[in-house]
Structures are given as C-alpha cells and as structure tokens.
Amino acid sequence: MSHPVHALDSFFYTSMGVYAFESQCEMLAELGYDGITVSAWGGQPMTDLSLLPTVKERHGLDVAALYAVLHEGRNDAIIRRIIESVEGVELIELAVQTSLNGEAAILRNIEALLPIAERRGLRIALYPHLRHVTQTTSEVVRLCEYFDHPLLGASFNGYHWYASRRAGWRNASPRSSPG
C-alpha cells in the first residue's frame, strides 16, 4: 500500500535565504513527492498564501497542510485571520509555542477557531513541538479530548516525540534507525 509523502517547506530555508515557492514545488514534484506543508509561522508566512489554490494544477502537488504557530496573547488575531482567509488547504497544523495568559486563554483561542473550521470545512490538528507550550503528544491529545470536536485532532511528528522524551533524541534514535 502506498502512502502519500509530503515535505514541510522549512527544508527550503537556508542560511542564504528561502527558495522561491515555485522552485520548492518544482523540486518536490520532480523528486516524486505528493505534497507540501506550507508554514504561516506566527502570522508572517515566507510564502504568498494566495498561491496555494493553484499548486495542484500547476505542479501536481497537494497542499497537505498549513502550519501555524500560536503565541497566545500576541498573535491570536493574526492566526485567526489567516485561518479565516486561506484557500487551497483543508488541514491547519497548529502549534502553541507561548502563552501570556495561561491555559484558559489557550483553550479560548482553540475554541474560537473551531467555528471557523466548521464554516470553512477545515480540520485543525494540534502540533506537539519540543519547547512549546504544547510540547508532548499527550498534552495535545488531552486538549483534543477536552474539546471532543470532530474537526480537531492531533498531529504527530516523530522527531518532536523522541526529542521530548526523557531519554532524548540521542538515546532513542539508535533504536529507531534501520539495522
């Protein structure tokens, strides 16, 4: 059984700058990838998000997700505006990096995004990320269980899962490498 493979656009960020989005798509298509996840970061994407609806037609790639980072109390409205307006994507991967006002405010932010997701036909996957407020998979799953909403789920990133474990990435990675 074949599974789609997509790349996160941050692989195209170098010390010399960021590859043009068209070049990213051309390279991924040529390499045989099925899609790309585009980063909106904390509200200042490196990519013109208006290009997303035509990626499939122009390059044969799916836009697998839009990755966004919430800094609660700082960029709430910006993230909400992006989710309200972005086209050409069905999944928002949302990492919660920082919070000024604590868990209750984070919950209010997620709660405010759910009606937008419903109205726009989007899914939201909370993204566990090392050194973020939502650092572990279990924290993200707990938030999903709290809301129990059909359009809210958890994303899984192998690196961040291993890195957030007490053993750390260096101790866990040899056991997970191919023989």
Q: Is residue 133 part of a domain?
A: yes
Share of the chain above pLDDT 90, in %: 73
Q: How many domains does the chain divide into? A: 1
Q: Is residue 72 part of a domain?
A: yes
What pTM, to 2 d.p., does this model score?
0.87
Q: pLDDT tens-digit profile of 106-135?
A: 999 999 999 999 999 999 999 998 888 888
- In 3D, which of 48, 120, 115, 71 has the Cα closest to residue 91? 120
Q: pLDDT tens-digit profile of 154-165?
A: 998 776 667 777
Q: Is residue 74 part of a domain?
A: yes
Q: Which residues contact 86 (CB under 8 A, 6 or more apart)?
A: 40, 49, 52, 66, 92
Q: Is residue 179 part of a domain?
A: no
Q: Is residue 1 part of a domain?
A: no
Q: Is residue 83 part of a domain?
A: yes
Q: Is residue 119 part of a domain?
A: yes
Q: Is residue 73 part of a domain?
A: yes
What CATH number does the domain containing 132 carry? 3.20.20.150
Q: Which domain holds residue 97?
A: 6-169
